[in-house]
Structure 1
Amino acid sequence: MTPVILTVFALTYLGMILGGLPFLKLDRTGVALLGAIALVATEAVSEQAALAAIHAPTLILLFSFMVVSAQLRLGGFYDWAARRLGALPVRPLVLLGALIAVAASLSAVFSNDIVCLAMAPVLADLCIARRLDPVPFLLALACAANLGSAATLIGNPQNMLIGETLHLSFPGYLAQAALPVVLGLLVTWGLIGLLTWGRWELPAGVPAPSVHSDERGPNTAGHPEPGRPLNRWQSAKGLVVAALLFAAFLFVPWPRDLMALAGAGLLLTSRRLHSRRMLGLVDWELLVLFMGLFIINGALQQTGLPAQAVAGLAAAGVDLQAPAPLFAASFLLSNLVSNVPAVMLLLPLASAHPQGATLLALSSTLAGNLFIVGSIANIIVVQAAERRGIRISWRRHARVGVPVTVATLGIAAVSLWLGVGAP
């Protein structure tokens, strides 16, 4: 069955590169699901082996924090945070720095994709209302969200996968990642500020935002404003649960996935917010993508071919288990097939070096800022801008994304080389 497994794997990762398969209405999730179905249907992988390949703790942790984020979205917290930022009576450069700090802090706990999805539309509208060019601020949101998510093992899906699979210490990882992330955020602020200096004002001809009715809510003056109105009680519930979980991850040696699941269950037992609304905001497609890739990568590992390929490359002088080659492979693959599939491929190599897991988490996440397709957060921000008549071309994104990526990856590499925060 090895030829079947190799064929399915090759077609699946071709779909990851292209974002789908030619002549078929499939996205990456559909490709991964179809590949897993093909393996089970042809009996290349047994049903028991397919179920065993799915890493339940990662999926549970992902699902649980999606529920926590859904609570905050329905409570209007993200929209409120964006509105408060947009209303700050400060100069554009200071506003940019405040945005980077807030977006990074939220992404470290609530996932970068969710933060960008909730904040990007509100931020774009508020920038236009202030006659500011929204593009630098939207790019800063995406870059800061990706950077901030690298700080913890719950900030993005690939970090959750690495942390749960390799059983990493939550405070231990935080100690190693904090410095390069903070320095990276400062450099990002400086680079975006320098690249957009003197061009803060909104260019002539940019249309007024076209906000959908479900993104507006009446303010106290009776005028429409973007985003959901803040529900203090529902937002407070979500924030308290998130804070308790974060503290528990730092100080309590219990399974993170089970603690997070308990927190999600607590939020679902609500008298005000219907579970249908909260579960409707869960990214089921991402969970299905994970399950499909778990099965496909598990099948490939069982053939023994990846181990043989790694041994062959090591004999040729390229040891992918060494820090530098692993760092380079993570960067390249993350921009080729996206960071989650890249991490699944490289994860077996990360345990060979004491800092391999931290290296893989940082490099795969920071690489996402290079181009628009490098991370879902980038795509979300660009799409939110397009819906408001604001075009962010790949060139304009790259003018910010490339220097930010090179600088932050350099900082991370030096920090890992010096062993900052390592036990």
Structure 2
Amino acid sequence: MTTLIVLVFLLVYLGLFLGGLPFLQLDRTGVALLGAIVLLATDVVDMNQVWEAVHPPTLALLFAFMVISAQLRLSGFYDWVVWRLDRFDLPPSALLGAVILTSALLSAVFSNDIVCLAMAPVLADACRARRLDPVPFLLALACAANLGSAATLIGNPQNMLIGERLALDFGGYLRLAAMPVGLGLAATWVILLGLSRRRWHLAAPVAANPEPESEATSHRQRAEDQAPGLDRWQTIKGLGVAGVLLLAFLFAPWPRDLLALAGAGLLLTSRRLHSHRMLGLVDWQLLVLFVGLFIVNHALQETGLPARAITALAGLGMDLHDPAPLFGAGAILSNLVSNVPAVMLLLPAATEPMSGPVLALSSTLAGNLLIVSSIANIIVVQAAARQGLLIDWRAHARVGLPVTLTTLAIAALWLGVLQG
């Protein structure tokens, strides 16, 4: 049985690294689900163990915030945010800073992937209307969304998992992460300013369907005169529920997953937004990925091999129970197999008081390195492509590499200061 478990585990994580398996039409979610099915079908994992393996509180919290984000997407809130930024008519350098700050704040609450999915196409349109090159602003959106999501235990799926598994205090983590995230955002703005070298404007319109000058001017005028469709009541409901949940997470002793589910249930009981539309925006693929990985990793843990591997590494001078090796392992593994699988692998080693914050910061900040390092990066690149804009791996790495190295260094120094 151990041989089969190890084989399934290696194939699943190979699929996560490659984005699928050769000759099969499987993405990462499909690979993880197939691995779980093999273990269940061969009775290596008993059906009665599934509930123990999948950790329902994490799945409940993740699902609930997907529903809250769906409410805000359907209300037009994210489009309105970009429109407001455009209305301020800021100079390009200030607009870049505003995009970074706004996307970071939203991602800290509503998840980086959702924020990028909703804001990227609208931001690209707004930049083109002002004859600005959208690429620096889109890269700023992706980098800041990843950074901002590191600030809280609800900003991204891996932080939710870490917070629920290790029962971290919401306010305590926020206070710890605020400084490195804030400094990282400032560093990202400076890096992008330096790389842009004040070359903000396009020599000619770049779009999937270029407009004549008169049409572009008219588009700009419409954008200035008329806000996008914003359902104020639905927006107030979504923001109100999110605000109450944040206060409850900070001050109430009740479980975060149950509070979040109550908020999601309140939003689903709507007379205007049909539950079919809201649930249609839930990322079921991500939830299935979580379930599959929970089962595969649970089976491997039961063999005792991970514990022996951690002991062997400690004998070689790299004890993953210590914050420094764990920080490095989190950053490296997150770029090999993505941050959620990396966190699942490393969580058994997170036994020290600082292990949770170390793993949350390292796995999230590492997501800016390459396009494939974060789903948020992929979403922005795909949105740019639909607008006729090319962001290849070189263009992204030109920004992602210095941002990642700088922010990881800031976080490492801050964590070192706290421990010293």
Q: TM-score, normalised by structure 2?
A: 0.95
When structure 1 is superposed on structure 2, of 226-235 and 409-418 the one drifting more is 226-235
Q: Deviations over 1:249-282 (max 9, x none)?
A: 0000100000000000000000000000000000
Q: How far apart are residue 322 of structure 1 and its match?
A: 1.3
2:285 corresponds to:
285
Give the conservation status (yes or no) of the 8 Å contact 2:145–2:376. yes
- 1:107-256 equivalences under 5 Å are 107-204=107-204, 206-207=206-207, 229-256=229-256
Query: CA contact under 8 A between 1:210 and 1:388: conserved in structure 2?
Result: no
Q: Could you list the per-position Cα deviations for residues 195-227 of structure 1 after superposition, in whole angstroms to 9, with x for gaps in the alignment?
A: 10221011436235589xxxxxxx9x9889999
Q: Which residue of 1 aligns with 2:356?
A: 357
**CA distance in structure 2 between the partners assigned to 1:224 and 1:265 by the alignment:** 37
Aligned to 1:274: 274
- Classify 1:295/1:224 alpha carbon distance in 2 versus 1 (closer, same or farther; 3 Å): farther
Shift in Å at residue 323 of structure 1? Answer: 1.4
The 3 A distance-change label for structure 1 pair 12 and 210 is: farther
Matched residue, 2:377 = 378
Q: What code does the residue aligned with 1:309 have? A: A
d(CA) in 2 for partners of 1:70, 1:124 = 21
Distance in 2 of aligned mates of 1:227 and 1:34? 46
- Give the superposition deviation at 1:313: 1.2
The match for 1:106 is: 106
SS of equivalent to 1:207: coil
Structure 2 CA distance for partners of 1:203 and 1:161, relative to 1, 3 Å: farther
CA distance in 2 between partners of 1:5 and 1:233 (Å):
51
Partner residue in 2 for 1:7: 7
Per the TM alignment, residue 354 of structure 1 is displaced from its structure 2 partner at its CA by 1.6
Q: Using the alignment, how far apart are the partners of 1:241 and 1:419 within structure 2?
A: 34
Q: CA deviation at 1:161?
A: 0.2
Correspondences of 1:272-351 after superposition (within 5 Å)? 272-351=272-351
Any idea what SS the aligned residue of 1:64 has?
Answer: helix
Q: Give the partner amino acid of 1:14.
A: L
Q: In structure 1, what is the Cα distance between the partners aligned to 2:272 and 2:209?
A: 32
Which segment is superposed worse, 50-59 or 285-294?
50-59
Query: In structure 1, how many angstroms separate the alpha carbons of the residues matched to 2:198 and 2:238?
Result: 40
Q: Structure 1 stretch 201-210 or stretch 246-255: which is displaced more?
A: 201-210
| Residue 229 (structure 1) shift | 1.3
Contact 2:100–2:144 (CA<8 Å) still a contact in 1?
A: yes
Whether 1:407 aligns to 2:410 is no
Establish whether residue 90 from structure 1 lines up as the match of residue 90 from structure 2: yes
Cα distance change, pair 209–152 in 1 and its aligned pair in 2 (3 A): farther
Could you say what the CA RMSD is over the residues aligned between the two structures, in angstroms? 1.9
Partner of 1:262: 262
- Give the letter for the 1:29 counterpart: T
Structure 2 gap ranges (5+): 212-218
Q: Tell me, what secondary structure is at the counterpart of 2:20?
A: coil
Distance of 2:28 and 2:226 partners within structure 1: 31
User: AA paired with 1:371?
Assistant: L
CA shift, 1:82, in A, is 1.0
Contact 1:128 1:209 in 2 (8 A): no
Q: Is the 8 A contact 2:319 2:325 kept in 1?
A: yes
* Equivalent residue, structure 1, for 2:79: 79
The answer (yes or no) to whether the contact 2:83–2:228 under 8 Å persists in 1 is: no
1 CA distance for matches of 2:149 and 2:284?
20
- 2:386 alignment partner in structure 1: 387
1:41 partner amino acid: A
For the 8 Å contact 2:300–2:306, the answer to whether it is kept is yes
Please tell me whether the aligned partners of residues 122 and 227 of structure 1 are also in contact (alpha carbons under 8 angstroms). Answer: no
Letter in 2 for 1:20: G
Cross-structure match for 1:216:
none
- The equivalent of 2:216 in structure 1 is none
Q: Secondary structure at the match of 2:253?
A: coil
User: Which 10-residue stretch deviates more, 156-165 or 310-319?
Assistant: 310-319
The one-letter code sitting in structure 1 at the alignment partner of 2:330 is: S
Contact 1:125 1:209 in 2 (8 A): no
Q: TM-score, normalised by structure 1?
A: 0.94
Task: Give the conservation status (yes or no) of the 8 Å contact 1:103–1:115.
Answer: yes
Q: Is the 8 A contact 2:208 2:386 kept in 1?
A: no
Alpha-carbon distance, 1:51 to partner:
2.5
Deviations 1:231-252 (A, max 9, x none): 1111110000000000100000
Tell me how far apart the structure 2 counterparts of residues 100 and 69 of structure 1 sit (CA, whole Å). Answer: 19
1:48 equivalent in alignment to 2:48 = yes
Matches of 1:349 and 1:227 in 2, distance apart?
50
CA contact (8 A) 1:76 1:227 kept: no
The alpha-carbon deviation at position 316 of structure 1 amounts to 1.7
* Alpha-carbon distance, 1:87 to partner: 2.6
1:340-363 Cα deviation digits (max 9, x unpaired):
000000011112x22110000000
Q: Which moved more, 1:194-203 or 1:248-257?
A: 194-203
Identity %: 67
The separation in 1 between residues aligned to 2:155 and 2:203, in whole angstroms, is: 34
Comparing 14-23 with 224-233, which one deviates more in the overlay?
224-233
CA distance in structure 2 between the partners assigned to 1:247 and 1:377 by the alignment: 27
Give me the whole-angstrom Cα distance separating, in 1, the residues matched to 2:31 and 2:372.
17
Q: Distance in 1 between matches of 2:7 and 2:144?
A: 38
Aligned-residue offset at 1:159: 0.1
Q: Deviations over 1:342-393 (max 9, x none)?
A: 0000011112x22110000000000000010010000000000000110001
